[in-house]
Amino acid sequence: MKRILPLVLVSAFAGVALLLTRHRDSPSRESLLPALRAVQQHEKQVERAAGRVLLLTPEEERRIGAEFDGRMSRTLAPGTPRGEAARRADEGLVNEVGRSLARAAVVERFPGRYEFRVIHGRPGNNAFAAPGGYVYVLPDLVRRFRRAPAALAFVLGHEIGHVELSHCADGARAKEWLAKLGLAPVGDAAALLRTLAQFHFSEVQEMEADEFALLLLRATRQDPFAALQALDLLDLPPDQETKRDPGEIAWEGLSDYLRTHPRSWERRNRIRRRLESWSRGR
């Protein structure tokens, strides 16, 4: 069945794509995303319902996160090539921005209890959320966002969103956390980071986290348009394409179904629509 499913999806997507491209008088961006998002939303609801069998209280979730954080802290060397002053500057910026977000009224699961860590000595331009209110940021990202604190707030708010919206605490995922933490070597930071990176969220959840980050920017009286600046600083390009033919639409539909992160153009479009709705007072 797993071997047949991609072929079935390609055939279905190609048929719908052909209908989308008929009678097109001007360039446009036909897409199967609305249908795909409906399917993924249904999948998420099914997963969430299954997760209720393994409910986690906030304190239980906090315990899982604290165990991971303790292991991570023990594996990271105190010294860094950038020096102590740079290290303190990175940590100071992330904590200042992050803690201001964690005190916002919309933060209800772990209000004021978020912990923010900079993982020194590790390459990359990324941030991660762990259960219980632990957020990790790589120093390359901090340097890139140093002069754009509101954009950094969007990135940290996105990770807070994964926790607040219970993406980290979904029952099935929490069970995986417990199992994988038992396998990760205590003395291997790289293994712990790989463990962290293995917990992918769905595209729907990623966009929910974007939405929550926008609410946080608004709640803390920061410019929500900084979200678009954050995508620029993360090198997430805007959409440069309009649809050319049914085959390309079908291929995009299949690849989107298998992706764990939404395409950057879709994130931008959703953020812009939300900002426009706020501007109109909705």
* Domain annotation covers residue 222: yes
Containing domain of residue 220, as a range? 46-236+261-279
In a domain, 156, yes or no: yes
Instruction: Classify residue 28: in a domain, yes or no.
Output: no
Residue 19 within a domain = no
Contact 109, 166 (CB under 8 A): yes
Q: Is residue 219 part of a domain?
A: yes
Note whether residue 198 is domain-resident. yes
Residue 32 has a pLDDT of 47
pLDDT in tens, the chain (282 residues): 444 544 444 455 444 444 444 444 444 444 444 554 454 454 555 555 545 555 678 898 898 889 889 888 877 655 555 578 888 999 999 999 999 999 999 999 999 999 999 998 888 889 999 999 999 999 999 999 999 999 999 999 999 999 999 998 875 566 666 666 665 555 566 666 666 666 668 888 999 999 999 999 999 999 999 999 999 999 866 655 545 454 444 434 434 434 445 678 889 999 999 999 998 875
- Count of residues in the chain: 282
> 192 in a domain, yes or no?
yes
Q: Compute the distance between CA of residue 175 and CA of residue 193 in angstroms, rounded to an integer.
A: 18
Residue 273 lies in a domain: yes
| pLDDT for the residue numbered 224 | 97
Q: Kindly report the pTM of this predicted structure.
A: 0.73
Note the pLDDT of residue 30: 46
Give DSSP secondary structure letters for 201-245: PPHHHHHHHHHHHHHHHHHTT--TTHHHHHHHHTT-PPP------
| Number of domains the chain is built from | 1
SS3 of residue 48 by DSSP: helix
